[in-house]
Structure 1
Amino acid sequence: MTAWLAILIPLLVMVFALGMERLETRLRSGTVREDEVEDFLERARPDEVKALFRQGIGGALQLFRLRNLGKRGGPRRTKERA
């Protein structure tokens, strides 16, 4: 009986640790950096503030990033003259 406990307890601790590591990686990818929030609060448009209340900080920051992507030289459509 003691041998089973000596084998079972470390295995349970390892499984628990691996599960917590997976949970931590999911939480880390969903977090928002402090400087992003400060930048949003300083330069947000009214529609982005409304999105903050409707969708939360994730949705509002997504709108804010899309708007800033266009300003910073993101992919733009150009008309080619024939």
Structure 2
Amino acid sequence: MTAWFVILVPLVIMFFALFMERVESRIRHVSVHEDDVEELLENARPDEVRALFGQGIGRALELFRLRRRGRSGRLKARRPR
């Protein structure tokens, strides 16, 4: 019985560590950057604040990025004139 315990525990720990590595890599790609959150909180519009409280940070950042992209696209379009 002790031999099985000595063999089984390190294997379980190793598989758990491998599983957690996969979970961490997925979270790392989905995570929100601190700079994005700070910029959102400083320059948020009412609809973005509503999205933040109602649907979470992901949706609020999505709306903020769409607005920011739209503004930069309009600025690029105005420059050549």
TM-score tier by shorter-chain length is 0.7 to 0.9
Secondary structure of the corresponding residue to residue 49 of structure 2: helix
Q: Which residue of 2 aligns with 1:29?
A: 29
User: What is the letter of the counterpart of residue 42 of structure 2?
Assistant: E
Q: Which residue of 2 aligns with 1:7?
A: 7
Q: Which residue of 1 aligns with 2:47?
A: 47
Runs of 4+ in 1 over 6 A off after TM superposition: none
Deviation at 1:54, TM superposition (A): 1.0
Higher-helix-fraction structure: 2
Distance in 1 separating the partners of 2:55 and 2:10? 43
Q: Which residue of 1 aligns with 2:20?
A: 20
Percent identity between the two aligned chains = 64
Give the TM-score taking structure 1 as reference length.
0.74
Q: How many residues align?
A: 74
User: What is the letter of the counterpart of residue 39 of structure 2?
Assistant: D
Q: Which residue of 1 aligns with 2:66?
A: 66
**Structure 2 segments unaligned to the other structure (5+ residues):** 75-81
Distance in 1 separating the partners of 2:61 and 2:26? 19
